[in-house]
């Protein structure tokens, strides 16, 4: 869903977009929505990407890195496909999200945690890797990026309430994701 929605928004704003997802089903859904002329393919961020060095001005990774225990190889590959002066725009689970669901969790550890979800009536267990902020920023700089922006934006006021956490009450923000803009040197 993220690939389809994000790609649709970028294209609507004039961007030339190339996209990939490791799920053939997600790529197929995105192609159905965007049209067969969309430049989308199946690729895995854990492997070398099928793009030339310096192929892109910007790379967007939406909620993908937190599935990796080690960010070294994915960040190196993302850096490889960016042009000099390019930007990596990414979102990951917020480092406080684990503590909000498990107050005994150790904020400073890097460890896996799993949650169960139901997608189209099918049970799925997704495992994310919790990491504190320094365990995010250190790999960014080691991969040759400079942090330009760290953002914890609120949700849009027009967001349907059914898409928000049920215990939100009257609050206008909640900690769930953190966003980064990283520049290449």
Asked if 7 contacts 38 with a C-beta cutoff of 8 angstroms, the reply is yes
Tell me the pLDDT tens digit for each residue of 70-90.
999 999 999 999 999 999 999
Residues 20, 25, 29, 34: is their CA dihedral positive or negative? Answer: positive
Give the mean pLDDT of the chain. Answer: 88
Tell me the pLDDT tens digit for each residue of 110-141.
999 888 888 888 899 989 999 999 999 999 99
Across residues 88-98, what is the average pLDDT? 91
Structure token pair of residue 101 = 């669901």
> Which pLDDT score, from 0 to 100, does residue 1 have?
44
Q: Which CATH superfamily does the domain covering 44-184 fall into?
A: Vaccinia Virus protein VP39 (3.40.50.150)
Tell me the pLDDT tens digit for each residue of 173-183.
777 889 999 99
Which residues does residue 178 pair with via DSSP β-bridges, in sequence order?
A: 92
């Amino acid at each position: 869903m993220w690939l389809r929605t994000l790609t649709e928004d970028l294209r609507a704003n004039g961007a030339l977009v190339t996209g990939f997802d490791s799920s053939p089903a997600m790529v197929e859904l995105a192609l159905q929505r965007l049209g067969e002329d969309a430049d989308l393919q199946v690729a895995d961020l854990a492997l070398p990407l099928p793009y030339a060095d310096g192929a892109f001005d910007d790379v967007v990774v939406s909620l993908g890195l937190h599935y990796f225990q080690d960010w070294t190889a994915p960040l190196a590959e993302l850096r490889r496909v960016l042009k000099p002066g390019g930007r990596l725009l990414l979102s990951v689970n917020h480092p406080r999200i684990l503590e909000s669901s498990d107050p005994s969790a150790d904020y400073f550890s890097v460890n896996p945690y799993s949650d169960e979800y139901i997608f189209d009536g099918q049970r799925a267990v997704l495992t994310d890797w919790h990491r504190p902020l320094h365990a995010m920023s250190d790999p960014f700089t080691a991969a040759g990026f400079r942090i330009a922006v760290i953002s914890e934006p609120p949700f849009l006021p027009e967001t349907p309430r059914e898409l928000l956490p049920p215990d939100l009450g009257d609050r206008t923000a909640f900690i769930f994701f953190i966003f980064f803009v990283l520049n290449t040197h």
